[in-house]
Amino acid sequence: MTRVKICGITSACDARLAVEAGADAIGLIFFEKSPRNVDLEQAARIVAELPPFIQTVGLFVNAPLDFVNETADRVGLDLVQLHGEETPEFCAAVRRRVMKAFRVKGAESLVPMPSYRVAGYVLDAYSPNAHGGTGERFDWDLAVQAKNYGPIVLAGGLTPENVADAVAQVVPYGVDVSSGVELSPGKKDPEKVRQFILRAKGL
Catalytic residue set? 7, 124
Burial bucket for residue 52 (CB in 10 Å: 0-12, 13-18, 19+): exposed
Burial bucket for residue 183 (CB in 10 Å: 0-12, 13-18, 19+): exposed
The radius of gyration of the chain's CA atoms, rounded to the nearest angstrom, is: 15
* Chain centroid offset of residue 5 CA: 6
